[in-house]
C-alpha cells in the first residue's frame, strides 16, 4: 500500500526540476519505466509470475491509452503516473 500511496503523491516535475521535457510523451516514457521497474522488482515480493506478466501487459496498454489521450488533449495532458492513478491502475496493482 505504501508503494501505491507514493505513486499517488509522486510529482515528476519536482523530481526533474527545470529539466521537465516539453513533450509529455518523453516524460511518460521515464515514468512508465519507473513503474515497470516497481512491478518487476518490488512486485516479485507479492505478485506471482503470472500476475506480474499481467501487470506489465496492462502497463503497456495504459501507455498506449495515454498516447491517445495526449493526442486528443494537446497542451492539457496530465502526467502518466497521474493517468495511471486516475484510471485505477495504481489501486489495482499497488493497493
pLDDT, tens only, 61-90? 999 999 999 889 877 778 888 899 899 998
The CA–CA distances, whole Å, from 26 to 4, 23, 29, 63 equal 23, 6, 5, 12
Look at residue 92 and tell me whether its pLDDT is greater than 60. Answer: yes
For 51, the 3-state DSSP assignment is helix
Give, for 31, the enclosing helix (H) or strand (E): helix 24-37
Is the pTM of the predicted complex or chain greater than 0.85?
Answer: no
Residue 40 is classified by DSSP as: I
Amino acid at each position: 500500500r505504501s508503494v501505491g500511496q507514493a505513486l499517488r503523491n509522486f510529482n515528476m516535475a519536482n523530481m526533474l526540476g527545470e529539466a521537465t521535457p516539453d513533450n509529455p510523451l518523453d516524460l511518460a516514457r521515464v515514468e512508465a519505466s519507473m513503474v515497470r521497474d516497481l512491478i518487476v522488482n518490488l512486485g516479485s515480493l507479492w505478485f506471482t509470475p503470472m500476475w506480474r506478466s499481467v501487470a506489465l501487459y496492462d502497463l503497456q496498454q495504459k501507455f498506449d491509452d495515454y498516447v491517445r489521450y495526449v493526442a486528443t488533449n494537446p497542451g492539457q495532458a496530465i502526467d502518466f503516473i497521474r493517468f495511471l492513478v486516475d484510471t485505477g491502475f495504481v489501486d489495482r496493482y499497488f493497493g
